[in-house]
Structure 1
Amino acid sequence: MKMSKKSSLQVTFSKRRNGLFKKASELCSLCAAKVALIIFSPRNKAFSFGHPSVNHLVNRFLTKVVPQASSFMRFIEAGHNAKLCNLFVELIELSELDDIEKKHSVMLNCPKTF
């Protein structure tokens, strides 16, 4: 059932989106999977995650062409991909911490009624 309160809907969407992106990033780093996610928010704003990139994977899907690379280039790409996945996980964690800090800030600035 869709949530009726718009603020709760947006908060839930943001948390779930971050969770999906984190899981996709883990799948990339742990299983060497190629993943692309495109998610539209309730306000129709697009969010995407792609490893190595959304455009690369969409083009690969549409053309069904598997690019060939030397083993050395695949090794280098794997290293870069692992670093990108780790950075993306850190970004998601920092974003979640930022959301928590914003909520604390709002709570601290609210006038108390007794």
Structure 2
Amino acid sequence: MPAPEPILGYPSKTAAVRDLFDNKKMKRREIAELLDIEISTVSSLIFYSKNGKRQDPARADDRMMQMPGDLFALAKSDAERRRITPHELFRRIVRAVIEEGIVDAVLDDAEEYRQ
């Protein structure tokens, strides 16, 4: 199986289809047109991802993390501007902060934890 390719800010077609179908309540035809794929592919991705027949390889090592519900409302406009979900926005923010080594600057609490 080929490696998943990111699409529209999602890590894979499966992730895009699942979010657009489940959360954005888009119709299969709309999703197919947006992602430039066949409707049958959309239906297949929905079916197999729901029934656990195929795991999205891009998400195989992912771990769940709970976020306070109010953060979704606060992140909505920033996510929409980027045409991604709040979930994807949170992933990008966390990744950028950690990879850039700016946790102390963002939290502004370095003095409390300095050893």
The TM-score normalised by the length of structure 2 is 0.29
> Which one has the largest radius of gyration?
1
Q: Which has the higher helix share?
A: 1
The TM-score normalised by the length of structure 1 is 0.29
Q: Which has the higher strand share?
A: 1
